[in-house]
Chains A and B, each alone.
Chain A
């Protein structure tokens, strides 16, 4: 079973700053099947990035994804007020199983 570990657990930044969020797999991950979501309180997760680096429909270009092997990164270049939320990575593995990370909370400093 692949385990996804996200870091940091909480990230405190100010609007306009750059955020870098990490997702590490316990085994090598398929870059085609690595996605990122944003969740605000009381809402369902929203797809941001899929296939490691492709932005989902309607997602602004301040969001970018990268990585390979076991280490993947979500970068938000300039934080907007709506970006302060919880972020999750998700992977689909060869065992036909979907796994989520435990989340990174991005809070206003």
Chain B
């Protein structure tokens, strides 16, 4: 049972847009910054978003992040087949004094 809640799966056609949600509570998302990761099975996670909405160098602007209250979202526009992967949200939990992740969302590009 993950501290952060994500939908297990989402799907969309190439070229379409998708939003992946991440729900938490005040000690984690409510009081801390959120990050998003992309993981292709068999490889290490890749940072897509940090500080709620910042993209590391090299991450295309098709990926965006937002946060409101105790929830966060990852948006992907113009879906490509190469975007098929698992996506995880993560943050710090001030009450647990621990890092926490969502359970992950499998994105299928139909």
Q: Do the two shown chains form a genuine complex with each other?
A: no
Binding site for A on B (CB under 8 A): none
